[in-house]
Chain A
């Protein structure tokens, strides 16, 4: 049975809801969802799920959701040796669907209220329009956070005098977001170049910044890369909320890396990043606690020291 639009049943809104403001479920859900008709066999459903790497698929009767078949249902059928039964014999009928025009906060409440890991989303005609999982919500939250941060930064930027070398800026990095890893460093490089900073110095900043940025993406659960720049020095800070580093000295040893195969295939994981940040920095501080997170501060002097060195 499709049970939808019960706005009254989702009450307590968890924290973080101010953030998602007036986002609607339809803006966040996955569209083009796969669905199967009633007469699909368990075996067919299983291979569809496998091919598409999904763990559940809605069953529809001319676009109206009549049930949902999950990995669990398939396991049960398999155990009884009845893989050729229609999905309707094994699926869950009591489907809790959400309406696409509901605010996203309702979906968040639904996840805390029900044990399900995915909810079909239906349109006004009660037809399947999409599916929503925790992943959709996380992505939406991250996107919204970055957007708000960006807005804040744009305000900051306009208030600085562009002729003077001053910038305070923070970038939010998420785990495994290699797509965007490197953007912060390249923006900072352009900023410094625009202010006539010698390229040798810019490259040192770029090294420290890029390696910190990629480490946040590759090794942390997500974090913040901050820049505080004035005519004397560039301060780069990296903060994250986990997982922390067990042995900091070991992490600073050239060649030590915990990067997995996938990260290595992208060209990272030689274990050179941290030692190189330390090498190019005039000041370098690292603090880390397992379970709590890692804080790194790297300073590159623009005046004073460097003028003597070169």
Chain B
């Protein structure tokens, strides 16, 4: 599935627009950034409630395809700015991390 399909299918809101579409190869859920650093894989989308700019830094360094902040976490402005600069899509969803992961599994088959 691509990140655009993910956005439509999961019905989540992008915090900034204009990113390039890209392939999503899987998902990883964690709120511990060093864990994301250690165990996430290139192309995965990160499901987290850790909504700040350090999360963007980690996602970019690990070549993740995007970030979904779950449980409707407020996304601070400087996180949006950093995401825009780094051109990484960030979405907000009302669902919690479990629900988000479960739906992604249903829709994306991973």
Which residues from chain A sit less than 8 Å from chain B, CB to CB? 178-179, 181-182, 185-186, 189, 199, 203, 206-207, 210-211, 214, 266-273, 276, 279
Nearest CB on A from B73, distance (A): 12
| B58 CB–A CB distance under 8 Å | yes
User: A252 vs B109: C-alpha distance in the bound complex, in angstroms?
Assistant: 37
Interface pair A203/B32, CB less than 8 Å apart: no
Could you tell me the distance between the alpha carbons of A160 and B86 in the complex, rounded to whole angstroms?
A: 26
Closest 6 CB pairs between A and B?
A: A182-B57, A206-B61, A270-B32, A272-B34, A267-B33, A267-B50
- Majority-rule SS of B interface residues: helix
Stretch in B5-13, B35-43, B92-100 with 4+ CB within 8 Å of A: B35-43
| A-facing residues in B36-62 (Cβ within 8 Å) | 37-38, 42, 50, 52-55, 57-58, 60-62
23 contacts between A and B (CB under 8 A): A178-B54, A185-B61, A186-B61, A189-B61, A199-B42, A203-B42, A203-B63, A206-B61, A207-B37, A207-B38, A210-B57, A210-B58, A211-B34, A214-B54, A266-B33, A266-B54, A267-B31, A267-B33, A267-B54, A270-B35, A272-B34, A272-B35, A276-B38
Enumerate chain B residues within 8 angstroms of A267, measured Cβ to Cβ: 31-33, 50, 52, 54-55
How far apart sit A7 and B33, CA to CA, in the bound complex (Å)? 51
List of B residues within 8 angstroms of A199 by Cβ: 42, 63
Number of A-B contacts (CB under 8 A): 70
- Among B34, B53, B54, B63: residue with most chain A CB under 10 A: B34
* Residues in B neighbouring A279, C-beta threshold 8 A: 38
| Closest CB in chain A relative to B49 CB, distance in Å | 10
Residue of B nearest to A264 (CB): B32
In Å, the complex CA distance between A24 and B33 comes to 40
Residues on A with beta carbons closer than 8 Å to the beta carbon of B32: 267-270, 272
Q: How far is the CA of A268 from the CA of B36 in the complex (A)?
A: 11
* B50 partner residues in chain A, CB cutoff 8 A: 266-267
What is the CB-to-nearest-CB distance from A217 to chain B, in angstroms, rounded to a whole number? 10
| Chain A: minimal CB distance from B48 (Å) | 8
- Which chain A positions have C-beta within 8 A of B55? 267
Contact between B61 and A268, CB atoms less than 8 A apart: no
User: Separation in Å of the A181 CB from the closest CB of chain B?
Assistant: 7
